[in-house]
Amino acid sequence: MDDARKLVGLEVQVPLADRVKLPAGSYYISDLVGCAVNEKDGASVGLVRDVEIHGDEISGTPNLVVETARGELLIPLAQEICVDVDLAARRIVVVLPEGLRELNLE
């Protein structure tokens, strides 16, 4: 127990090559941060600055925190909205529901 207490507050880091392969549709936050976000028509939305996870990580839908020219935009990381996540190209294609942009800017 005393040895474990010495580790409190420390960060565990794993080399990228040693990370566990995730199932399709699951992503490491570090892989999403920095990705360009574009609408399906190619219009730029912004860049992913962070990912917010609320509540239960298993059943909850995380939000992409996207830095746009008009400020922060929260986009649910749901398959219906994020229709193409291409980590190799560092790009996420989204179909934003009507009103989402305005809701986030209020």
Q: Which domains does the chain have, with CATH numbers?
A: 2-105 (2.30.30.240)
Q: List, in order, residues 6 or more apart from 66 with CB less than 8 Å away.
A: 37, 45, 46, 47, 48, 49, 72, 73, 74, 75
Q: What is the pLDDT of residues 16-48, one digit of tens each?
A: 889 999 998 889 999 999 999 999 999 999 999
pTM above 0.85, yes or no: no
Q: What is the pLDDT of residues 65-95, one digit of tens each?
A: 999 988 999 999 999 999 999 999 999 999 9
